[in-house]
Amino acid sequence: MTDNPHSRTWFRVAVVYFAIAVTLGIVMGGSGDHSLMAVHAHLNLLGWVSMSLFGLIGLAYPAITEGRLARCQFWLYNIGLPAMLIALAAQLKGVPRLDPVLGIGSLVTGIGVALFAWLVITRVATRVRL
Ligand code: HEM
Ligand code: HEM
């Protein structure tokens, strides 16, 4: 597999989510307070796991990570997800003021996912680099 700079960016962001998620998991386990479990789960799954997959899929099919639409997908996801998770943490800690951000953040993340699906479906046959 050859290099893809866009994949490297996804991997760098993914490991930041991984580190935060596992830190939170350890704090949850240690304190016995699991109230932020949904934040931990989605930091891991939408952050670490999904972003690593975006990067890995981009290594195999670089066309999926290139151009304006791919840039748009990157930013939708990376703005929507932190907004969603910060607002979710606030909600779970009894601060409902950020609920609209939770709704909008989820929606923006979801649009990022839909765009990724579109990029994969339309570009997966374009060029293979293995
Ligand atoms: C040292 C690392 C980790 C620690 C200490 C940890 C700790 C925890 C704790 C304490 C819970 C709450 C369990 C409960 O209340 O039932 C939890 C839930 C969860 N963790 Fe982790 N975790 C770690 C790593 C991971 C990783 C790497 C992933 C995914 C890639 C992950 C995914 C999840 C999920 C999906 C849940 C929710 C499970 C459910 O719905 O019942 N965790 N974790
Ligand atoms: C924008 C995208 C997503 C939204 C808005 C969302 C929303 C939710 C909601 C509302 C719950 C119930 C939480 C609760 O009962 O406290 C949940 C649970 C869960 N979701 Fe997601 N989800 C998303 C993406 C994903 C993805 C991509 C994965 C896996 C790759 C995933 C895995 C899980 C798991 C394992 C649970 C059960 C653990 C928990 O309660 O936190 N979710 N999600």
In the chain, what are the domain boundaries?
A: 5-123
Ligand 2 in reach of 45 Cβ (< 6 A): yes
- Nearest Cα to Cα of residue 9 among 67, 42, 58, 80: 58
User: What does the mean pLDDT of the chain come to?
Assistant: 95
Ligand 1 in reach of 26 Cβ (< 6 A): yes
Torsion of CA 60, 44, 75, 59, to 10 degrees: -10
Ligand 2 in reach of 46 Cβ (< 6 A): yes
The span from the CA of 68 to the CA of 88, in Å, is: 30
* Cβ atoms of 69 and 119 closer than 8 Å: yes
- Which listed ligand is nearest to 42 at the C-alpha? 2
Ligand 1 in reach of 20 Cβ (< 6 A): no
3-state secondary structure at position 95: coil
Which residues of the chain register pLDDT less than 50? none
Q: Whose CA is nearest to atom 12 of ligand 2?
A: 38
User: How far is the first Cα of the chain from the last one, in angstroms, to the nearest whole number?
Assistant: 5
* pLDDT value at residue 129: 52
| Interval between CA 47 and ligand 2 midpoint (Å) | 12
- What's the predicted TM-score (pTM) here? 0.95
Number of residues that this document lists for the chain: 130
Look up residue 129 and give its amino acid. R
The span from the CA of 78 to the CA of 83, in Å, is: 9
* pLDDT value at residue 3: 87
